[in-house]
């Protein structure tokens, strides 16, 4: 009889400790935010300029000036050697050369055509012919286009401390 009582107590403990699962109602259309990865430092929340507003800002920047900002753009090209730079589209077929702070991080080489948000310093600078040819080689441009590059050019640049890459 004592063994039956012990067995009943053990059975009661197992049933009393059994977890009861209650289903919470699932929303009919769950709101999921955009899926992204981050390269470099996390991009802070706040105002993100669109491509048009960024083009207007570049129209006001003089060589030697820097402006801290963040903006969203479409990736036109990425360094195919390491992912150590990318170009973002602006209106009127202009692009911004984006490099990464202290050469401290890289982006995937297959993100051309995708959207990103970059945070950092916008600037305008003169880029010499040798650097322009080097960038064209890294982008995988054909030799005929590389040979056609002549002289220095004023370019819009951006030093990103962080990049949000949308997938």
pLDDT of residue 12: 52
Classify domain 35-166 at the CATH topology level: OB fold (Dihydrolipoamide Acetyltransferase, E2P) (2.40.50)
Structure tokens at 18: 């059994």
* Ranges of each domain in the chain: 35-166
Q: Is the pLDDT of residue 115 over 80?
A: yes
Quick one: CA dihedral 138, 144, 145, 151, positive or negative? Answer: positive
pTM for the model: 0.73
Q: What is the pLDDT of residues 51-98, one digit of tens each?
A: 999 999 999 999 989 999 999 999 999 998 899 999 999 999 999 999
Task: List C-alpha distances in Å: 151 to 99, 114, 128, 143.
Answer: 21, 31, 6, 17
């Amino acid at each position: 009889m004592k063994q039956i009582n012990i067995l009943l107590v053990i059975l009661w403990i197992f049933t009393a400790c059994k977890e009861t699962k209650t289903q919470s109602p699932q929303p009919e259309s769950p709101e999921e935010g955009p899926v992204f990865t981050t390269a470099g430092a996390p991009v802070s929340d706040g105002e993100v300029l669109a491509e048009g507003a960024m083009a207007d800002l570049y129209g006001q920047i003089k060589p030697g000036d820097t402006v801290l900002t963040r903006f969203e753009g479409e990736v036109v090209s990425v360094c195919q050697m390491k992912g150590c730079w990318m170009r973002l589209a602006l209106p009127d077929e202009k692009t911004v050369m984006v490099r990464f702070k202290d050469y401290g991080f890289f982006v995937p080489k297959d993100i051309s055509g995708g959207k990103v948000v970059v945070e950092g310093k916008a600037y305008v600078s003169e880029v010499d012919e040798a650097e322009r040819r080097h960038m064209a080689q890294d982008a995988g441009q054909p030799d005929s286009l590389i040979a056609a590059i002549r002289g220095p050019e004023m370019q819009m640049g951006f030093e990103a401390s962080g990049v949000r890459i949308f997938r």
